[in-house]
Structure 1
């Protein structure tokens, strides 16, 4: 028994119009892996041209919950049938043809697909595992898509190649949604203050309190001498300011400093921020 289908993301014109076409795939497990790659990126329109074996248990097993993509897959006898109602065809290919053909990279292919998807179906064609697309099939394509892999080890398996292209399609789709690059799926979260961070960025007052506390503890443990400071506090200040501490992190650090003072038997002259805002371990 194959895994039941996981919920499908809501589709729209762009996602429905993008057609992934596999030509004469010999291993049915690869078809399942492609279905998984497609569904990962929100796509579900799969066409199979004369597959060696489909449907079968291997394809469903490799789909890992994307069985609905396989259930809806269109199986046709020729590439002509898969392309006849499309307005744009792009095929994956290595460079080096005797007759040069328009070649684009995956990001440009995704953008081009996006423009044409509003006008009709767009086919992205992938060839056989062993030999790719033949010259006649490549000549059916308006563009060839070249994935710039390592020239010393350039061969991608079928599902990997599909995943690369589907990822670029996904990124193009997300940027096209309302808000563009402000879309939560695209916005980075790297520091306090970014959307999604759990604690507010520490204020200048809080951080300065920490620096005063840190300096006092370093004096208490005889690591730092105020009469001969050199650059110690300057470099520590640069270190911690580069970290962009949030309020909880300041409280934790000051709690540690207070514990050091207690352990060495010094009270210090600075009251830790955690004494005002709650112990640092009470998150």
Structure 2
């Protein structure tokens, strides 16, 4: 589906921005790049900034006019940071992603274009009038000018997030450790009781718990660890700390007796 999403860069002046845009696209799964009358392309700096997205650059289409870039598109989104005299439908990047995906999932799915203007002046009023929607990225009003590749990244990210959610796929990756299986296994009730007995023994040995006047220390500790609900690996760590504490106490005690 993303093969039908076309990123169109108009009259880009710096090849590094083309490379940065290509990298942003590939990060998010987009690959259709169209360059309208770029000032410098191909260029080694574009490849350097692409950082591995050379295939996106190699397959980029270079055309002379915006009309040629949009000729077969059924939906065109143009990015704009400026107010226009003529009212036009304006959406934010998240709304834009929804509209793009709605179009691609519909019966009349066809190429969709995301159009980005010049680094210094953006898209002209005439170029924006070729777009059904204007996309405004709600940046800091005191410093609203975005780097071209950054703007591409924002829209590409929203597209990927919305697409993953619609497919019911996770939008975040769980950290996987080598002991992942054990990490998923919670400590049993028996293991917890053994830990509480061990903990109480050590607290008495180090003088933190007075067995004649225990107050409510152990019930509070039970509530604490019950709320945490340690897994098997965590329980082994806690028991190991208690065991090493007892060893240290034993060494200190034997040293005191020798003196």
TM surpasses 0.5: yes
Q: Deviation digits for residues 101-135 of structure 1, max 9, x if unmatched?
A: 21112122111101112410000011111111121
Matched residue of 1:201: which SS?
A: coil
* Greater relative contact order (Cα < 8 A, sep 6+): 2
Q: Runs ≥4 in structure 1, deviation > 6 angstroms?
A: none
Q: Which residue does the alignment assign to 1:142?
A: 132
Q: Distance in 2 between matches of 1:134 and 1:104?
A: 18
1:36-185 aligned at under 5 Å gives the runs: 36-94=23-81, 96-118=83-105, 119-177=109-167, 180=168, 183=169, 185=170
Change (3 A) 1:162 1:234: farther
Q: Which residue does the alignment assign to 1:200?
A: 185
Gaps of 5+ in 1: 1-13, 267-283
Offset at residue 228 of structure 1 (A): 3.5
Offset at residue 148 of structure 1 (A): 1.6
Gaps of 5+ in 2: 252-259
TM-score scaled by length of structure 1: 0.79
Q: Does 1:23 align with 2:13?
A: no
Q: Distance in 2 between matches of 1:231 and 1:154?
A: 57
Q: Distance in 1 between matches of 2:182 and 2:110?
A: 41
Offset at residue 242 of structure 1 (A): 4.2
**Count of residue pairs the alignment pairs up:** 246
Q: Which residue does the alignment assign to 2:210?
A: 225
Decide whether the 8 Å contact of 1:16 with 1:44 is kept in 2. yes
Decide whether the 8 Å contact of 1:94 with 1:146 is kept in 2. yes
CA RMSD of aligned residues (A): 2.4
Decide whether the 8 Å contact of 1:199 with 1:248 is kept in 2. no
Max radius of gyration: which structure?
2
Quick check: which one's helix share is greater? 2
